[in-house]
Chains A and B, each alone.
Chain A
Amino acid sequence: MLPNLFFGYFAIVMVVLSLLIITRRNPVHSVLWMLVLFFHIAGLYLFLNAEFLAAVQVILYAGAILVLFLFVIMMLNLKEEITAERFIGEWPIGVALGISIIMLVYFALSKFIQGPVGQYTIEAINKETHTKTIGRVLYTEYLFPFEIASLILLIAIVGAIVLAKKRG
């Protein structure tokens, strides 16, 4: 019962936070609500026995990406933004589309069948800590994608500098 309640709390708060993010007039508020959302997601990860990812979620999303967003917001003209129209004219179409996709997923979920389970039980992971287990998999089986990920980041850095640089 307790886990269900716990999940219920997280679920409701996360949905409300998401709605807040996309409806706030002031982008700064959106970012701050997103910060709260990311903490909740990290909490959910902890609930799912993924400590390492919870930590990464907080450090990377809350610490890095959101700060980046805030920086950019500071460059924009907030005064004008607050008074401007939030939504496009045809927003009901978007909402209707969203609701229909939700319905679809609802139907799909009724046909959901769980697949076979793997070898990493909670006991196995807890025996040598989550971080160590995920590290071993990442650096052996997924070493090549891992290296590619580093390349993607490098390209992103270079790209960001080139794009945002003052010309001439």
Chain B
Amino acid sequence: MDKYLLIPLLPLIAFTINIIFGKGIIKERAHWIAILAVLGSFAIAVSTLIEVLNGKTINYDVYSWIVSGSFKVTVGFLIDQLTAIMLIVVTSVSLLVHIYSVGYMHGDKGYYRFFAYLSLFTFSMLMLVMGNNLLQLYFGWEAVGLCSYFLIGFWYEKKSASDAGKKAFIVNRFGDFGFGIGVIMIFLTLGALHYTDIFAKVGTLQGQTINILGYNIDLITLIALLLFCGAVGKSAQIPLHVWLPDAMEGPTPVSALIHAATMVTAGVFMVARFNPIFSLSETAMNVVALTGAITSLFAATIALVQNDIKRIVAYSTVSQLGYMFLACGVGAYGAGVFHLYTHAYFKALLFLGAGSVMHAMAGELDIQKMGGLKKHMPVTYWTFLIASLSIAGIPGLAGFFSKDEILWLAYNHGTIGKIVWLMGTAVAALTAFYSFRIIFMAFHGKFRGTHEQEHHLHESPKAMTIPLIILAIGAISAGWVGIPAALGGSNAIAHFFEPVLGHPHVTAAHEEEFMVMSISIVAAIGGIFVSWIFYSLKPEIPKTLAAKFKGIYTTLWNKYYVDELYGFIIVRPTKWIASNILVAVTDGKIIEGIVNGVPQAIRNFGERLRKLQTGHLQHYAVSMAIGLFVILTLVLIAAGR
């Protein structure tokens, strides 16, 4: 067996073992199997990365799944620069989340189930990124959706958790619908499912239009937008971002996994993977860039006022994903994936840190009730601080390099680029602000919770802090592979990605690059400074501001009322249709009628048919003889013609 197959197969095996034997035999030992499997996958992923670094790309079919005439669906692997990085991100974050979960999920009655789902989730994501054809991507795409449903609704006894699971699944369905149509369109127009075939043929579509309801629509734009539709759902962009903050209902390690490595990054990965299609349509690119930028700004503003620690981090994920799409939209796919890769580490760290805080606070999520945690949980504090500095874009840390690359390349991309650059810079300031709001409110100052909680405060166990430390190292150093030339680096990662993702042409001088860089640094430091004034120095300012701009504050607090809007325009009409048409008419009359009527009809028919069964052997023989006679006659007639 070749080793590439083992990468997704090991977690699948772990899942199978845990789900079958977990309840009876394995029980509290479930994590060993899951961790060993992911560790194996990670080791193979590293060796694969080394091979790819040496210039090897792997593309082959493992297994023919469906063969029907010229239509052939295979399970195959394409491992190039993009996939290799994704493999590292997925397996490493997944591994750390697995280890962290040993501490976090300790004593949960669904312990084995949790690890089984984690393995399945990892498997699905690996299949998604490793596939060499569209259908396998689609398989992984749906599978991660299913796993997210399992894991978000992991504590299914809790209504909010199962609701959040359903919400994630259903909202994703909207996006997947478009994605599915996109896949079908590609197959219909190009007749190919393998990436290599698609990218080889996609040029022939240029200039073709398709007539929909009387409008001539550019075919490539349509396909690209349909694919992007899927990415919007999976990567929680406006208008389908609503599921991600609710996904907080799942256990915190799951949030970390969803937000950092699996699931949400799938959309960015897909857009980057299909860059040959997107690059052919300027309209689609602009849509991607603007959607990314608007989502980024939108989510960052919501994050400003939230008090739930996980919710703030969740909105920051939506915002950072917007950044990645912004990058893809200006043609800087490499920068987008680079940000995906650095983001994976500091975002996983933020979530696991938040989980560690929750662990100490006995499940408390409100940062207004925290404070002064610094001295109780130093490891969590320092790692969380590193992650916040990284996401804020402080020079030297991972987030700075990737964010700066995106902003710089956006700045170089004409008018649209300038607009999204401005938005991106604003987001950078907001990001720094809300990230440090958590730091100042939760870790500094005086403890504001109950006495009982204060007594309970403690540092988390080793299984949880070690992954935090490892991730902190990642959050510092992950970006060092992409130090731009302007700072004396070689921007190795951009060159690494160039064969797959290309590299946008940059004309502007280093001076401008320094200008862009300085602006974003100023924005970041400004954000942190304001945050320090607001929440450490003069805590009364935010309250005054909130009272003064009550309208804005409540709008932000209620997340722009998007959930309420959807509730009004989608959920309520659907429920009305469900109760008044489906239940009353379809279910009550039609289905009941069919359900009761069919057996009645069969019974009546059977009563008559029964009479044929006389029990006389000869009667049966005669019917056989008549059958023989009829068949012979038919054959003769057929032969006679």
Contacts and interface: CB of A to CB of B under 8 A. Distances in A.
Judge A-B direct contact (beta carbons within 8 Å): yes
Interface of A: 88, 90, 93-94, 97-98, 100-101, 104-105, 107-108, 111
A107 B636 CA distance: 8
Contacts of A108: 632, 635-636, 639
Contacts of B632: 101, 104-105, 108
B640 A100 contact: no
B626 A97 contact: yes
B622 A93 contact: yes
Nearest to B617: A88
28 contacts: A88-B616, A88-B618, A93-B622, A94-B618, A94-B622, A94-B625, A97-B622, A97-B625, A97-B626, A97-B629, A98-B625, A101-B625, A101-B628, A101-B629, A101-B632, A104-B629, A104-B632, A104-B633, A104-B636, A105-B632, A107-B636, A108-B632, A108-B635, A108-B636, A108-B639, A111-B636, A111-B639, A111-B640
Nearest to A105: B632
Nearest to A94: B622
Interface string B60-101: 000000000000000000000000000000000000000000
Contacts of A100: 629
Interface in B612-641: 616, 618, 622, 625-626, 628-629, 632-633, 635-636, 639-640
* A-B CB proximity, top 9 nearest: A104-B632, A97-B625, A88-B618, A101-B629, A108-B636, A111-B639, A100-B629, A107-B636, A104-B633
A108 B636 CA distance: 7
A101 B632 CA distance: 8
B638 to A, nearest CB: 11
A90 B626 CA distance: 15
Instruction: Label chain A's interface by main secondary structure.
Output: helix
A94 B629 CA distance: 12
A154 to B, nearest CB: 28
B637 to A, nearest CB: 10
A9 to B, nearest CB: 29
B621 to A, nearest CB: 8
Interface of B: 616, 618, 622, 625-626, 628-629, 632-633, 635-636, 639-640
A56 to B, nearest CB: 28
A40 B631 CA distance: 31
B77 to A, nearest CB: 42
B266 to A, nearest CB: 53
A25 B421 CA distance: 108
Contacts of B636: 104, 107-108, 111
A92 to B, nearest CB: 12
The winner among B616, B625, B639 for most chain A CB atoms within 10 A is B625
A108 B640 CA distance: 9
A97 B627 CA distance: 11
A94 B618 CA distance: 9
A138 to B, nearest CB: 30
Contacts of A104: 629, 632-633, 636
A97 to B, nearest CB: 5
A87 to B, nearest CB: 10
A36 B635 CA distance: 35
Nearest to B621: A94
B630 to A, nearest CB: 10
B619 to A, nearest CB: 9
Contacts of B639: 108, 111
A108 B635 CA distance: 9
A98 B636 CA distance: 17
B558 to A, nearest CB: 77
Contacts of A101: 625, 628-629, 632
Contacts of A105: 632
A64 B625 CA distance: 29
Nearest to B636: A108
Nearest to B635: A108
A24 to B, nearest CB: 18
Nearest to B629: A101
A73 B628 CA distance: 31
Nearest to A101: B629
Nearest to A87: B618
A75 B452 CA distance: 97
A124 B633 CA distance: 39
A100 B636 CA distance: 14
A64 B383 CA distance: 94
Nearest to A97: B625
Contacts of A88: 616, 618
A45 B632 CA distance: 27
A97 B618 CA distance: 13
Contacts of B618: 88, 90, 94
Contacts of A90: 618
Contacts of A107: 636
Contacts of B616: 88
Nearest to B633: A104
A104 B629 CA distance: 8
A103 to B, nearest CB: 10
B517 to A, nearest CB: 80
A100 B629 CA distance: 8
Given A97-B625, A101-B629, A107-B636, 18 more contacts: A88-B616, A88-B618, A90-B618, A93-B622, A94-B618, A97-B622, A97-B626, A97-B629, A98-B625, A101-B625, A101-B628, A101-B632, A104-B633, A105-B632, A108-B635, A108-B639, A111-B636, A111-B640
A108 B618 CA distance: 27
A100 B626 CA distance: 10
Nearest to A93: B622
Contacts of B633: 104
Contacts of B628: 101
Contacts of A94: 618, 622, 625
B626 to A, nearest CB: 7
B141 to A, nearest CB: 49
A90 B616 CA distance: 12
A32 to B, nearest CB: 25
Nearest to B618: A88
A62 B632 CA distance: 32
A114 to B, nearest CB: 15
B620 to A, nearest CB: 13
A94 B625 CA distance: 9
A18 to B, nearest CB: 16
Nearest to A100: B629
A6 B629 CA distance: 32
Contacts of B629: 97, 100-101, 104
A98 B625 CA distance: 8
B616 to A, nearest CB: 8
A107 B629 CA distance: 13
A105 B629 CA distance: 10
Contacts of A97: 622, 625-626, 629
B91 to A, nearest CB: 52
A94 B616 CA distance: 14
A163 to B, nearest CB: 18
